[in-house]
Amino acid sequence: MSQISGEWLAALKNEFQQPYYARLYKKVMEEYRTQQIFPPPQDMFNAFEYTPLNDVKVVILGQDPYHNDGQANGLCFSVREDVAIPPSLVNIYKELHSDLGCYIPDNGCLEKWAKQGVFLLNTVLTVRAHQAFSHREIGWEQFFTLAEYAGQTVGTSATERKAERVLERICGVDPGTVRKIDGRQRKQFADCLGERFFGFPPPFPENPDGNDSTDGFDWNGIRMLFPAPAVDPDGSVVPLAHTTAVELCEATDLYLCDKWRYAPLVVAILCRPEGEPYREQTCRHRAWSMKKLPMDIVLRLYDMLRQAHRYLKRNYPLCYETPRTNGEKTGREGPTWNELLLWAGHFRIDEIEPVRRMNCHDFMDLVQSRIKMNG
C-alpha cells in the first residue's frame, strides 16, 4: 500500500493508529493478494500526493474508483491520458463548458486539477475489478470522512456540508436529522471531532452564546435548568435527583428511539425554568422552538441521562433485565420505559398518575420491588 506523507501524514497520523484502520489495512492487503484490485497500490493515495493539505481549495467527491481495466489512477473521475474519457467525466466537462465557458480537454487526466488545489477524493479508495462498490463498508468511509473534513477545514470556508458527513458517518445520525441542525453547530461539533483525531481547530465552546452553562442555558429569554443532582449522606452524587418518573420514562424512550431526531423534545422534557412542573403540552410546544438548539447543550444533557442510567442500573439492576421465559429470551426487546410505568401502576388510571408523579428513584425502587415479588 502506498504511503501518505507530508502535511497529510501530520494531520492523519492519529487515524492510522485507530483499530478500524488496522482492520482496513489488513483487509485491503489481503484483497490485493487474492483479487484484481484497482487502482494499482502505488496510486491508491494519489489524491493526497498531488494535493498537499494546505493547498486544498476545493473538495470533489466520487463514489469508488473506476472498476474497468486501466482506468483508475487514484483521483476521483480521473483516468490516464491514453484512456477514453468516462461518461461521468464527459458530463462534468460539458457542465463546466456550458456554465463557465471552459474548454473541453481531449483526455480525462485530472492531475492538473489536483496540483492546483482540487482535492479529488473517492469515498472508497479501492475496488475489485468489474465489481462496483465491492469495497464499500470495509472501513474507507470513516477514514475518508475525517480526511475530507481536514482538507475542507483548512482549504475553504464551505465546511457545513462536510460537517454533515462527519455527523452521518462517524456519529450515525440520519441525513434528514443532520440537515435540521443549525449549520454553525454542525461545524462546531465536527471541529470537536477534528480536535480529537487530528489536533486542528479547537473544540466548540461550552457556551457558544455566552451563557453560563453550569446549571442551565438561556433560551428565548428564559433560563432553562438542567436536571439537578443531589448528594447522598455518604458523599456520592445522585443524578436526576428531582426528576419525576414520567420525565425519566418519556425522555429515555425518545432517546432510545432516535436521540437525534427527538433531541429538542428530550431537552424540553428534562430542562425547564425553575419551579415549573412537568406538563406534556408545554414541553411539546417548547420543543418546536428548540429545533436549532446548540449541539453542546444536547450533548451535555445526553451525558447526564447516560450517567443517570448507569447509576440506576447499579442500584436497580432488575429493571434493566430483558424478560425471560424458562431461562430463555422471549424474542422481544422488553417493555419500553413508558410500558414499565404503566405496569408499575397496574394499568389503572387511578394508580398510574401517582406513579407518573413520583420521584424517578422511588419509581425504580417500586419497579424493582414488584419484579422481585413477581419472580
Percent of the chain past pLDDT 70, that is, above it, reads 75
Taking 90 as the threshold, does the pLDDT of residue 247 lie above it?
Answer: yes
Q: Is the peptide bond before 277 cis (omega within 30 degrees of 0)?
A: no
pLDDT per residue as tens digits for the range 307-336: 899 999 999 998 887 553 333 333 335 578
Q: pLDDT class for 358, splitting at 50, 70, 90?
A: very high
For 103, the 3-state DSSP assignment is coil
> Which range, of 123-127, 144-148, 218-222, 317-321, averages the lowest pLDDT?
144-148
Considering the entire predicted model, what is its pTM? 0.47
Mean pLDDT of 179-198: 57
**Positions marked active-site:** 64
**Nearest 5 degrees, angle CA 277-CA 279-CA 280?**
150
Which grid coordinates are listed for 337?
420505559
- Residue in this structure with the C-alpha cell 443531589, named with its chain if needed: 230
pLDDT per residue as tens digits for the range 154-166: 433 344 555 566 5
pLDDT per residue as tens digits for the range 45-88: 999 999 998 888 888 888 889 999 999 999 999 999 999 999 98
Q: Are 92 and 77 in contact (CB under 8 A)?
A: yes
Residue 99 or residue 177, greater confidence: 99
Architecture of the domain defined by 6-156 = 3-Layer(aba) Sandwich (3.40)
Q: pLDDT class for 231, splitting at 50, 70, 90?
A: confident
Reference 111, options 13, 43, 62; nearest CA is 43
Domain boundary assignment for the chain: 6-156, 216-315, 324-373
Q: Are 316 and 369 in contact (CB under 8 A)?
A: no
Indicate the average pLDDT of the chain: 80
